[in-house]
Amino acid sequence: MIRSASPKYEFNLKNSTKFSGILPFLQFLERMKIQQTFRGFDCLKKDNAKFPLSKIFVYLIAGWMADCSRMFHFQSLQNDPLIRAFLGGKCPHYTLLSKDLLRLEKIEDAAIEFKERVMDIIEPWLDSDLILDFDSSVETVYGNQEGAKIGVNPHKPGRKSYHPLLVFEGKSHLCLNGVLRPGNVHSADNGIEFAEETYRLLSTQYLIRYARFDKGFGGEKFYSYWEQQKINYAGKLKWTSRLKKYVENDNSPWIRYVDDELIVIEGKTVYYQATSFKSYTIRRFRREFIYSAGVLTSHSRRVSLNICKTYAHKWAFRKMIQSVRMID
């Protein structure tokens, strides 16, 4: 308890960080050799560049986890001792990040090349049989970011947003592909082209058992694509009054799939044709897990991170560190 009405203060706390909770993630990036994966892009800068593109990519990934959603937010990481130690002693100035991203924009097929490198990291963790889960999300922006448009936004109606299209592997939950789109597009827009790109990114050794998607992707063209590829699919349908009446009047039996004390799930198979076929959040994770005070200390050749004693996620933190160390 501070009894003095005017406590003394000094700005002399050295080697302190507010991102102690990001340590397991940084160790994960290091263990997965993320920087080595993107070495091929280093040729786009001079050989003696202090910050090659591979290091810039790693810095951008770490910054995103630390809630740096815009380039000038990276100023908060500039002198952070934990981030600097991870990058080898110094962080690039935030203005350099924009310059390097613009450098990539001029390279033809840079996005596909980047996705192929990411797939090289993911594939060793996949089973031979895959389930593709298609999804889309609305990401609200609070400015005039490039490509953001006003569209359907259930959380912030009337505000600009992005509408990214994503595909995950159903068993491992790893993200296989993604594309950033303006907020005024429909969930299914360019869905077939996106599925074909994902199919090309995967090695031929993988067999796609089936695809899953929600009602936003419904449509005759999207269904026909999977049928032509001879890939099974499961998709949600909008529960319209017409579909409800059709199911109620159908005489086929209901099948009980789950029956226990808490949950009962029943279903039935019907043939139905619509009248027409037309075309833990990351924010909470950062707030509760990433943001935590800590101090880097050095003794002989050993560096330690002393985390705030009141940190609420000690068990999960240690568990993540142990899991990272098990990665080959």
- Quick: pLDDT tens for 30-47: 998 899 988 888 888 888
Q: How far is CA 260 from the centre of its chain?
A: 35
Residue 24 tokens read as: 């397991």
Alpha helix (H) ranges present in the chain? 23-31, 34-37, 53-65, 81-86, 94-105, 110-122, 191-201, 220-228, 241-249, 282-285, 314-325
In which residue ranges of the chain is CATH 3.30.420.10 found? 126-237
End-to-end alpha carbon distance in the chain: 48
Q: What is the dihedral of CA 37, 26, 111, 102, to 10 degrees?
A: -110
Name, in order, each residue with C-beta under 8 angstroms of 22's C-beta and a sequence gap of 6 or more.
62, 65, 66, 82, 290
| pLDDT tens-digit map of 202-261 | 988 899 998 999 888 877 888 889 989 999 988 887 777 888 888 888 888 888 888 887
> What residues of the chain score a pLDDT lower than 70?
1-6, 273-281, 328
Phi, psi for 210 (deg, rounded to 5): -165, 165
Hey, what are 265's tokens? 């799930």
Can you tell me the distance from the alpha carbon of 274 to that of 270, in angstroms, rounded to the nearest whole number?
A: 12
In the prediction, which pLDDT does 274 show? Answer: 63
| pTM of this prediction exceeds 0.95 | no
Superfamily of domain 126-237, CATH level 4: Ribonuclease H-like superfamily/Ribonuclease H (3.30.420.10)
Instruction: Write the single-letter amino acid at 4.
Output: S
| Amino acid 4: pLDDT | 54
